[in-house]
Amino acid sequence: MNNETEVSDILVSLENEMKGKVEKFKKELTTLRTGRANPQLLDGVFVEYYGAKVPLKQIASISIPEARTLEVRPFDMSALENIEAELKKMDLGSSPSSDGKIIRINLPAMTEEQRKKMVKMVREMGEESKIAIRNERRDALNILKKAEKRSEITEDDLESYEQKVQALTDTHIKGVVGVIDFKEKELLTI
């Protein structure tokens, strides 16, 4: 082990993995319904189009004409019925309606109970992200401890690297907590 280079690579890789966990958490939160229309609510929709399942956003534009309304405008009108059928399968709180050219989805206002459930779900998702970050920390520390056992790094170096790993972990955990706090405020704002 070229001590400094490989340990530096481990730390860079660790930071990238932890950043990835935070970004994944942020992306997952965009699919949650907050009472406001958000095109990302439809990111998981795949539509049968000429014999293949394709993402909705590849065959239609999604816009927000009003705070709680989504409009789906197919690029190819022959896909309208398939898009509407897939949207009806989603649990958005209301049924999509079509005028033959555009599909509109009016999202109902969320109740206090729904908001509290969503906050609970956000916290659970956040906890899963924190666990994933801690798992990355554990894996990096195991690699460093093995290197120390093989006398590739000194005990003092190990202690220094452990502190750096912990600092990275703390930073990314705080990032997840910040995202949770922001989403909770968004959910609880009427």
pLDDT digits (tens, 9 = 90+) for 42-83: 888 899 998 899 999 999 999 988 888 889 999 999 999 999
Query: pLDDT-based confidence at 187, cuts 50/70/90?
Result: confident
Instruction: Clarify whether residues 44 and 95 are in a common domain.
Output: yes
Whether pLDDT at 123 is above 50: yes
pLDDT at 33: 67
pLDDT at 39: 83
Q: Give the CATH number of the domain where residue 44 resides.
A: 3.30.1360.40
Query: pLDDT-based confidence at 151, cuts 50/70/90?
Result: confident
Query: pLDDT-based confidence at 95, cuts 50/70/90?
Result: confident
Whether pLDDT at 133 is above 90: yes
Q: What is the 3-state secondary structure (H, E, C) of the chain?
A: CCHHHHHHHHHHHHHHHHHHHHHHHHHHHHCCCCCCCCHHHHCCCEEEECCEEEEHHHHEEEEEEECCEEEEEECCHHHHHHHHHHHHHCCCCCCCEECCCCEEEECCCCCHHHHHHHHHHHHHHHHHHHHHHHHHHHHHHHHHHHHHHCCCCCHHHHHHHHHHHHHHHHHHHHHHHHHHHHHHHHHHCC
Instruction: Clarify whether residues 68 and 159 are in a common domain.
Output: no
Instruction: Clarify whether residues 116 and 101 are in a common domain.
Output: no
Q: For the residues 28-55, what does the mean pLDDT come to?
A: 83
Instruction: Clarify whether residues 47 and 17 are in a common domain.
Output: no
Q: Domain total for the chain?
A: 2
Last residue in a domain, options 87, 106, 125: 106
Whether pLDDT at 145 is above 80: yes
Q: For the residues 132-140, what does the mean pLDDT come to?
A: 96
Whether pLDDT at 2 is above 60: no
Q: Which domain holds residue 102?
A: 39-106
Instruction: Clarify whether residues 101 and 124 are in a common domain.
Output: no
Whether pLDDT at 3 is above 70: no
**pTM assigned to the model:** 0.71
pLDDT at 1: 46
Q: Give the CATH number of the domain where residue 139 resides.
A: 1.10.132.20
